[in-house]
Structure 1
Amino acid sequence: MLIVGERINTSRPKVGPAVEARDASFIQDMALKQAQAGASMIDVNAGTLVNEEPEALVWLVNTVQEVVDVPLCIDSPNPVAIEAALKACRKKAMVSSVTAEKERYEKITPLVKEYGASIVALCMDESGVPDSAKDRIAIAERLVADLTRDGIPREDIYLDVMVRPVSVSARDGIEALETTRGIMQGIPGVHTICGLSNVSFGLPLRKLLNRAFLCILMGAGLDSAILDPLDREIMAAIYAAEALLGKDEFCMNYIAANRDGKLSV
């Protein structure tokens, strides 16, 4: 399971001021804690700093890379900021994100190819996010066809199944689940990913819903997620789900996590 640590985002109350003040120790502490908790990749997002996003994003990349050795996810819709950040990355990065919207696709995809990055591709187009899994899968098929045609290997494509709040529509969880299953069964060689916490927006005990939904999605084949790795219960659930789904030979990772005190119920 590829775990993208979500905490370094300037929309979060303490992160935004820290980035504006160029408080390296605060950001580095957050990056270290996420990596130590099991994040495979660290997301960096300076999207709320509209007037200085490229500079802030480069500063984040350099600051985080000083203390962790995991790759970074460059999280921005701004091609100028994305390119500046990619130039600063020491390891193969991930870019979040493209969609099937023509203008956005044409501006970001060449950067992904030039810098050899992987890409998060959202299952949406000019009309927005489709309500049905069938329509999301159709967009996913089109995105994969376009991305591979433009030189992006299938193994570098992470299709975002578009998790939305179940508090808004009771069907939204099911549609994300069916989108995940349809992509993993019907589009070989690609990955699926989601912004997990969207599912619980507006509801009490959000971590409980996030944890349960992640395990359900993993059963449908989800192999990547953007989440908070400092949530010990959700990380424990990942170890348990991988053991139960045959993704952990002889349950060795689960046993090691228990030995290291990482399992929590």
Structure 2
Amino acid sequence: MPYALTLTHLYPDHLNLYGDTGNLIVLKRRCQWMGIDCMVQPLTMGDRPTPGHTDLYFMGGGQDNDQVAVVDDFHQLKADTIQADTEAGVVFLGVCGGYQLMGHTFLMGNGEETPGLGIINVRTKAPGTEVKQRCIGNLIGELSADIYTEITAMYASPKPVPRTIVGFENHSGQTYLGQGVAPLAKTRVGFGNNATAEDEGARYRNVFGSYMHGSLLPKNPHFADYLIWLALRRKYQDDTLRLPALGDREELEAHHYAVQRYGRG
């Protein structure tokens, strides 16, 4: 049976820093290599989403003023549909500013609280007006056991899969996970969610947040495939669905180079 996915890029005109659009390029290209028809559509200011139409949402990072600009639009035009979709298992990936926006609130350094999108139970706050610590540098995490177990079992034939996930972080916001939300990975190198938590990113149902730029998915093909697999399995209601095992030589060379160069020990 031929498979098809619809990917929706949220606010591409406002949340487009750090090359994170590369994540969508990777998803589309890997779908093509696996024989999956993939359509990418923008959803920007003033647009209303169609309920049940999207299989995977993506939202990237932006400057603080751009993040604030999209909040009212989201709550007025998009919140009901996207929140219903994600509660029904539609895949969602938010990176850095997009990750911060996915939560309930963002507390600015001046004490002003900005409402978030309420997709996932996390909260973010700035370090404060006195201390302006940034979490910046190479970031290496170890995927949570449940995610890694699913990734190793999702291919039609065995292939080597890294337990690690790599990227680059650059954020001042400190994110804290609430009840019902699990970390995406345990931090090996770098900060991740905040300066002391020792974990990176978040997962709730099929909703994922991460501070990894670089972009995230080109150096982590196993995680890109995982998002595709989750979206396909949900859409076609087929728990036996398996993905072709692509070679990924160049992608994994880039991944392992980051681990070897920046990893400790």
Q: What TM-score does the superposition give when structure 1 sets the normalisation length?
A: 0.35
Q: Between Structure 1 and Structure 2, which shows a larger proportion of strand residues?
A: 2
Q: What TM-score does the superposition give when structure 2 sets the normalisation length?
A: 0.35
- Higher relative CO (Cα under 8 Å, sequence separation at least 6) belongs to 2
